[in-house]
Amino acid sequence: MIHQPPAGARDLFPLEVAQKCWINDRLQEKFQKWGYKRIVTSTLEWLDTLTAGGAIKPSTVIQLQNNSEKTLGLRPELTASIARAAVTRMAGNTYPQRLCYRANVFRNPSQNRHGRQLEFYQAGVELLFAGGVLADAEILLLLADCLEDLGIQNWHLLLGDAGLTRSLLNIFPNSLRQQVRYCLANLDRITLENLPLEPALKEQALLLFDLRGLPKEVLAKVAHLDLDDTAKTIVNNLKSLIDLLNHSSPVPITLDLSLVQTLDYYTGIVFEVVSYQGNQSHIIGQGGRYDRLLGLYHPQGETSPGIGFAFNIEDLHSCLLPTGQLPQQTLASDWLVIPQTPQANGAAFIHAQKLRNAQPTVRVELDLGGRSSEEIKEYARTCRIKNLVWIQEDGTAITESI
């Protein structure tokens, strides 16, 4: 139906656009204060690029056909595209690379969810070619700085580690490991309890399911598990990271080792930011470390570390809307220029342009005719335009304030 957008798509009207631009502008300003430079990647990518070596399911990508033998898709997220650009088009830049973005992304809804949202808006950062606790801390402190600047209340950081969780899952049989992982990712305790696991493994699965809480308490529980050397190193790094965060700027953290992101390219810390508004929670951001992703796109397969996060603009908007911080009106024009006769049209255009040139931020409209003087004034009052300029045939300008 040509008079309606497709199912899952929507239009944004001027006030909502102004409000979301306010959020985006604040975030971009903060990103740049931390040394991040904006990058714009293509909305279209080859499907092979977007699936990130199988880490992103092709079913989530809105796919397009063209005359090529290869399939195109609309980006479901930005990290894969930025990783591709960083190791190909931007190769040779000074490392580390701090990149930021604001963009729309597109995702197919899961089965039986026809009509769910297809297009989303994100703003985020990627810190590439930098590994270690210091880089992890920078990303999390930048995230916290952004939320403080926006005035987001009642938010919490859920922090996990994909490498440690994978290590803890290795004790489960191959045939059931993915099912255990699925139960963790979807907080499905009932299914987990009914998996055909022997008692000792079921106890371990439920322990892993409940490994969330204050960082100190969770790490104490993990210390009693049978960890290999890699897992022990990860635990020590988590302790160092949390100590560094607490020393620099305390961040409200819940350590959640059952946290599993839906994107499967994460190798280190993973995190979600949750804001609680009344009886509703919003996932306003998410991210993590991906130390093998860049190698998928490098011409020689050289791998390099990376970490980043994305804010969900729609959810930030929902959290901020009740606070009154967002613009409540679109910006009004400063002037309305009115040619009094058709012979004054040329002079009206010239005068309007003079007003625009006099001040870079001034907003000037031209009346397009067909209205009486009273109708023009009523329009100006409705649109909050305070200054009218009546242009006569000889170019004379008569100013009137409303």
**All domains of the chain in start order, with CATH:** 14-323 (3.30.930.10), 335-401 (3.40.50.800)
Counting Cβ atoms within 10 Å, is residue 47 exposed (0-12), middle (13-18) or buried (19+)?
middle
Token pair of 1, please?
């139906």
What CA–CA distances, in Å, run from 54 to 217, 296, 380? Answer: 35, 11, 57
d(CA 210, CA 258): 7
d(CA 367, CA 348): 9
Question: Is-contact 48 61, C-beta < 8 A?
Answer: no
Report residue 226's pLDDT band, with 50, 70 and 90 as the boundaries: confident
User: Mind listing the pLDDT tens digit for each residue in 236-267?
Assistant: 999 999 999 998 888 899 999 888 766 678 99
Angle at which helix 14-33 crosses helix 313-320, to 10 degrees, equals: 110
Beta-carbon contacts of residue 7 (< 8 Å; ≥ 6 apart)? 114, 115
**H or E segment to which residue 389 belongs:** strand 387-391
User: Mind listing the pLDDT tens digit for each residue in 133-155?
Assistant: 999 999 999 999 999 999 998 99
Token pair of 116, please?
């769910």
Question: Is-contact 283 315, C-beta < 8 A?
Answer: yes
Q: What are the CB-based long-range contacts (under 8 Å, 24+) for 103-112?
A: 103/40, 103/41, 103/43, 103/75, 103/78, 104/43, 105/74, 105/75, 105/76, 105/77, 105/78, 106/62, 106/74, 106/75, 106/76, 107/60, 107/61, 107/62, 107/76, 108/59, 108/60, 108/61, 108/62, 109/8
Site of tokens 């990627």:
126
Task: Give the single-character DSSP code of 53.
Answer: G
Among 48-52, 285-289, 314-318, which stretch is predicted with the lowest mean pLDDT? 48-52
What CA–CA distances, in Å, run from 80 to 66, 88, 93, 334? Answer: 21, 12, 18, 44
Task: Give the single-character DSSP code of 384.
Answer: T
- Return the pLDDT at 113: 60
- Return the pLDDT at 235: 93
Share of the chain above pLDDT 90, in %: 65
d(CA 192, CA 354): 71
Query: Alpha helix (H) ranges present in 34-151?
Result: 47-50, 79-87, 133-150
Token pair of 247, please?
């020393």
Residues 267, 133, 315, 30, CA torsion sign: negative
Q: Comparing C-alpha atoms, which of 265, 342, 281, 290 is closest to residue 136? A: 290
Counting Cβ atoms within 10 Å, is residue 394 exposed (0-12), middle (13-18) or buried (19+)?
exposed
d(CA 39, CA 217): 40
Q: Residues 278-292: what's their mean pLDDT?
A: 91
Q: Residues 120-124: what's their mean pLDDT?
A: 97
- Return the pLDDT at 161: 94
Q: Residues 277-290: what's their mean pLDDT?
A: 91
Amino acid type, 123: A
User: Mind listing the pLDDT tens digit for each residue in 337-359?
Assistant: 999 999 999 999 999 999 999 99
> Above 70 in pLDDT, residue 112?
no
What CA–CA distances, in Å, run from 224 to 98, 199, 205, 217, 219? Answer: 38, 19, 15, 12, 9
Question: Is-contact 47 70, C-beta < 8 A?
Answer: yes
> Above 60 in pLDDT, residue 379?
yes
Report residue 322's pLDDT band, with 50, 70 and 90 as the boundaries: very high
Helix (H, G, I), strand (E, B) or coil at 381: helix
Beta-carbon contacts of residue 281 (< 8 Å; ≥ 6 apart)? 274, 275
d(CA 305, CA 288): 11
Question: Is-contact 252 156, C-beta < 8 A?
Answer: yes
DSSP 162-225: HHHHHHHHTTS-HHHHHHHHHHHHTT-HHHHHTS---HHHHHHHHHHHT-EE-HHHHHHHHHTS
